[in-house]
A = this chain, B = another copy of it.
Amino acid sequence: MTKRLVPATPATLDETDRALLAALAADARQPVSELARRVGLSAPSTAERVRRLEAQGVIERFTVQIDPRALGFTLQAIVRVKPLPGQLHLVEDVIRRIPEFVECDKVTGDDCFICRLYLHSIEQLDEILSKVTERAETSTAIVKSTPVARRLPPLG
């Protein structure tokens, strides 16, 4: 697997690149030969474009989307975290080390962190948040449904 060489800020993507990205987003495991058919190029050219997109850092990684329920995670919560004075870095470390926090962004405004938490049960919420509440105020919202599941932004 070719690895990122550049931090990828400017990247000139033509129509073929965009079509490739869209096709890969829909099914990352489809063979190069099929990708090639979709974008109207030969297999070698297609393979090289995919490698180039990886090397440029446009493609960060090929991955799999797993249904959390299949792993026993029946609940999802969005937690806003406001560290107590002087606890910011420690709070960040604590979050990073709890694997049930599957995502965390540091944001502007009163709440410093906004995180997504996977839970096996509602009881587990207290269990996990207790590790954070020593050092931060938290505000939790339970996910009832997901009107928009992670999708690609407009490629145009």
Listed in ascending order, the chain A residues whose CB lies under 8 Å from chain B are 1, 8-9, 11, 13, 21, 24-30, 56-71, 73, 76, 78, 92, 95-96, 99-109, 111, 113-115, 118, 141-155
Contacts and interface: CB of A to CB of B under 8 A. Distances in A.
A153 B105 contact: no
A64 to B, nearest CB: 4
B96 A148 contact: yes
A24 B107 contact: no
B67 A58 contact: yes
Given A8-B67, A58-B66, A60-B67, A99 B141 contact: no
Q: How many copies does the complex hold?
A: 2
A108 B63 contact: no
A107 B95 contact: no
10 contacts: A8-B69, A21-B64, A27-B62, A29-B29, A58-B71, A71-B153, A76-B105, A99-B151, A99-B153, A107-B143
B27 A1 contact: yes
A25 B28 CA distance: 11
A113 B82 CA distance: 20
Contact of A107 (B28, B64, B144): B144
Nearest to A140: B109
